[in-house]
Amino acid sequence: MNTLPPPTGPLLQPVRDPRARDLALDYADMHALIADLVLPGDASMYVMSAMETSRELIRHSYYRYEFATVAVTHSLFALEHVLAKRLATNEPLHGLIERATGAGLITAGLAAELDRSRLLRDKLTRGVESSAALHPIRAVAMVRAVFDAVSLLLRPSSAAGTAGPDVGGAQPEDGLAGLWEDHLRAPFPDGFRGVDFGGVDLVLLDADVAGLVQRELSGGLDDSGIAYLWSCIADLEKIVPLINEEYCASYFTELRTMAQVAAPYIPTAT
């Protein structure tokens, strides 16, 4: 229950945090600070969401200085998820970093920077540090280490066999069930509810594809269901190039991939 009284006047626009006065002349200039934090295109939607949130928290530290420290701790969600999946083990983060270093997946220098982020998170948990612990410039370097590590960890293993042809960007070994699990963990893009592109409502399209994929996983689609799924794929092909926001475009690209895997053939015309 929200016990706060309703606002009685106009909402105030955010203003620059005085502690961020040496970062940029204005908010638009914050883009240069995070420009090289590029999301890996082959990450799962969960990882993409965590990494993009971390990057945007640094951008918004212009308005709230503490967001820079939060950005570093939030980026560790993505790192821990990717490490556990690549190493096929669930251990505390420090153990995962040690294993990845020992296996030659990341360098010792990169591991040391990642461990600094982990130690900061632990200090915050114990109340030894506050959320104002990091200057945003330092936070950028620590988040960049996570971005670099995730990119390295997502590279195919040298022992892996030659990959088969992909389907809309997904390797066959991903499996529909795996794509579905990734989709369930991915939050719907903020700010895009009630939005349509080219006459296609994004929320309805998302729900339609999800319902059809569930039917395919639980017992299989009949010809009419597959035909409907292919019409959804056609809508996805139309709208994805029109989306100019990175996470939203990635979300619907992954949705298209999942739909293509669920609809392996075009039903016979009746």
Per-residue model confidence (pLDDT) at position 107: 87
Distance CA 123, CA 36 (A): 28
> 235-243 long-range contacts, Cβ below 8 Å, gap at least 24?
235/200, 235/205, 236/205, 236/209, 238/197, 238/198, 238/200, 239/197, 239/198, 239/200, 239/202, 239/205, 242/197, 242/198, 243/197
Per-residue model confidence (pLDDT) at position 4: 62
What are the angstrom distances between the C-alpha of 169 and each of 147, 174, 248? Answer: 21, 11, 17
Distance CA 116, CA 59 (A): 21
pLDDT digits (tens, 9 = 90+) for 151-176: 999 887 653 333 333 333 333 334 78
What is the CB neighbour count within 10 angstroms for residue 192?
A: 18
Residues of the chain scoring pLDDT < 50: 1, 159-174, 266-270
> 242-249 long-range contacts, Cβ below 8 Å, gap at least 24?
242/197, 242/198, 243/197, 245/189, 245/191, 245/192, 246/39, 246/52, 247/48, 247/49, 247/52, 247/189, 248/189, 248/192, 248/202
The full DSSP string for 200-233 is EEHHHHHHHHHHHHHHHHHT---HHHHHHHHHHH
Distance CA 250, CA 85 (A): 20
Any bridge partners for residue 196, and if so which? 201
Q: Report the run of H or E that residue 196 belongs to, with start and end.
A: strand 196-197
Per-residue model confidence (pLDDT) at position 244: 86
Per-residue model confidence (pLDDT) at position 170: 39
What is the CB neighbour count within 10 angstroms for residue 163?
A: 10
Eight-state DSSP code of residue 65: T
Quote the pTM value: 0.59
